[in-house]
Structure 1
Amino acid sequence: MALSNIPKTVTIFGGSGFLGRHLVRILAKRGYRIRVAVRRPDLAFHLQPLGNLGQISLVQANLRYRQSVDAAVAGSDYVINCVGLLHQSGRNTFDAVQEFGARAVAEAARAAGAKLTHVSAIGADADSASAYGRTKGKAEQAVLAIMPDAVIMRPSVMFGPEDDFYNKFGAMAARFPFLPLVGGGMTRFQPVSVDDVAEAIALAVDGKVEGGKIYELGGAEVKTFKEILEDILRITCRERRLVSIPFFAASVIGKLNALVPFVKPMITADQVTLLKKDNVVSEAAIREGRTLEGLGIRPSLAAAVLPAYLVRYRPAGQFTRSGSEA
């Protein structure tokens, strides 16, 4: 095989996660050789059938340990950092993973002569009152300082079969008599398909996205938190009360949740802080074409995707008639 015909080697940090697995599938179809860098390669074997024999390899890496990051990146043509935390646990803090880790990946990519896409989030702001938003913002600054031609992708909340948003509230609707409307449920979101986000990143790997810019990826519709919960209840055929909880009370609940050891919190005080600001694409990004549409991607409608996997939360699953009562 001629050297020019050898597929690029793409290293994906966090490739076994929600976004990562969809990205692995899309890049494998494009013919890239993929190196998935994860803390536990033994828990990522489910990714290998997404490509041809030998196309997808698994390597051990931890963003808190620079040597493992350098080893994972060595020989790569392109590097993607999908690693992010929804809540802190033990040594996996926002500072260690989202800021220090992002800096380590960028420095390793620069040393290897590789291109880089860093996955951030709408709401990233170095001055944010939220530790999540603040470390995401500082990570963006560090990445662009180290690699000025890096591509930054900021998705809104993502939906897809394995998401941790719609599935969380679908499960709550199946178990509890009410759903919480934090802050009255007026926070606005722009839910985006995980496949659309993965396609945008794949375009960057293809060399079709201009570097040195921050792209904001939102879906086809903007909805309030209340409207999203109403959609979930309609799709899951559940009748549940929507109970408004003030931000202060929700923050106290989040702090109490954090005191329970070995249990994944339903909500944290930091997430409550994030809910005080809308999570939508900015007017500047729309005007400058730093969006899915600007990249030539038509955003998927959530209504066309959600029923396929939220059906599991209906009273009788797929056998529940639409509009039946819980």
Structure 2
Amino acid sequence: MQGQLATVFGASGFIGRNVVRELAARGVRVNAVCRDAEHAKFLKPMGVVGQVTPMRADVTDPAAVARAVAGADMVVNLVGILHQSGRNTFDAVQATAPGSIAKAAAAAGARAMVHVSAIGADAGSRSAYARSKAAGEAAVRAAFPAATILRPSIVYGPDDSFFNRFAAMAQVMPVLPLIGGGTTRFQPVYVDDVADAAMAALDRPEAAGADYELGGPSVYTFRQLLELMLAEIRRKRMLVPLPFWLAALQGAVLELLPVPPLTRDQVELLKSDNVVAPGAKTLADLGIEATPLEIVVPSYLDKFRVGGRYAGGRVNA
């Protein structure tokens, strides 16, 4: 990889910044594509001077995408949204844009491409998010057959939007909702393992054209994940089951906010387990040992404790 050029779309995001770090550590030059190049300047110190170049490009503009991948040996697409806003729709960002990126990568002569999708991508799903993810995969495969598709479960790490979000809620709310009763199952995967999977996919010839589902070593219910989070931040909170129909009503109202904490489509997603499918290729097939959740989560949730990370060991009300 050393000396080659990689274009990473979604470079300033949670997974993206870890992928950029790993590429830079391997001596790869990186075009770090994002919506705000000024904001992404924090990526530059991940490499030597001039190695990482933040670059603004609209993934819904094929001409901008083509400019971003010009001369690239490798292309990584990490762009995704959790809710729709304005012209940033699931169809535009997750169904159509991946195909544009794959076409541009093929036209530029890139030797490898990695597309990060999600477990649950399904053309027949009732969730618009899941349908758009499936459409994006199909578009990538049609334009760049040798692309590697990675489908992670919930991705966790210091900047994640799952544990940090619920821990912040627990700081101010006496009750946390268990949507659908909290029985939905997840297989959380460490962000560093996802970044390592992307590196392996770019480096291993056998990964070309293959699909991998990325999950951690253990499966948890939604309730179990919230209980684990509460134990780490040492707070007692009631976990109250919230039926799917009532959660959907709340989502219908909350999705009117600029950054909705819950949408009806997210409620629909929670009706299906988010775990690695039997027989799927996994992290192990890429030579990666999945990191246990219990090793990493305590290292960043302690800031949500009463008194901060250096507080005593007792459970607080």
Query: Is 1:296 matched up with 2:287?
Result: yes
From 292, 299, 305, the counterpart of 1:308: 299
**Rounded Cα–Cα distance in structure 1 between residues aligned with 2:261 and 2:108:** 40
Query: Is 1:18 matched up with 2:14?
Result: yes
Deviation at 1:209, TM superposition (A): 4.5
Matches within 5 A, 1:161-240: 161-240=158-237
Q: TM-score, normalised to structure 1's length?
A: 0.95
**Rounded Cα–Cα distance in structure 1 between residues aligned with 2:313 and 2:116:** 37
RMSD of equivalent CA atoms: 1.1
Q: TM-score, normalised to structure 2's length?
A: 0.97
Give CA deviations for 1:251-306 in whole Å, capped at 9, x if unaligned.
Answer: 1101100123x3x2111111110000000001020xxxx10012111111111111
From 277, 289, 292, the counterpart of 1:282: 277
Checking the alignment, whether the CA contact within 8 Å between 2:2 and 2:27 is kept in structure 1 is no
- What does residue 44 of structure 1 align with? 40
**Rounded Cα–Cα distance in structure 2 between residues aligned with 1:29 and 1:208:** 21
Runs of 4 or more off by more than 3 Å in structure 1? none
**Rounded Cα–Cα distance in structure 2 between residues aligned with 1:320 and 1:175:** 18
**Rounded Cα–Cα distance in structure 2 between residues aligned with 1:70 and 1:173:** 44
Report sequence identity in percent.
49
Give CA deviations for 1:190-215 in whole Å, capped at 9, x if unaligned.
Answer: 00000000001011222355211210
From 307, 311, 316, the counterpart of 1:320: 311
Checking the alignment, whether the CA contact within 8 Å between 1:124 and 1:134 is kept in structure 2 is yes
From 131, 140, 145, the counterpart of 1:143: 140
Checking the alignment, whether the CA contact within 8 Å between 1:25 and 1:51 is kept in structure 2 is yes
**Rounded Cα–Cα distance in structure 2 between residues aligned with 1:49 and 1:28:** 10
Checking the alignment, whether the CA contact within 8 Å between 1:209 and 1:295 is kept in structure 2 is no
- What does residue 127 of structure 2 align with? 130
Deviation at 1:6, TM superposition (A): 6.3
Deviation at 1:323, TM superposition (A): 3.4
Deviation at 1:324, TM superposition (A): 2.2
**Rounded Cα–Cα distance in structure 1 between residues aligned with 2:279 and 2:314:** 41
Query: Is 1:156 matched up with 2:153?
Result: yes
Q: Closer, same or farther in 2 for the Cα pair 1:251/1:169, shift >3 Å?
A: same
Checking the alignment, whether the CA contact within 8 Å between 2:96 and 2:139 is kept in structure 1 is no
**Rounded Cα–Cα distance in structure 2 between residues aligned with 1:209 and 1:53:** 33
Deviation at 1:146, TM superposition (A): 1.2
Give the letter for the 2:146 counterpart. Answer: D
**Rounded Cα–Cα distance in structure 2 between residues aligned with 1:132 and 1:211:** 26
Deviation at 1:16, TM superposition (A): 0.4
Deviation at 1:322, TM superposition (A): 2.5
- What does residue 246 of structure 1 align with? 243
Segments of 5+ residues of structure 2 without an aligned counterpart are none
Q: Closer, same or farther in 2 for the Cα pair 1:209/1:36, shift >3 Å?
A: farther
Q: Closer, same or farther in 2 for the Cα pair 1:23/1:44, shift >3 Å?
A: same
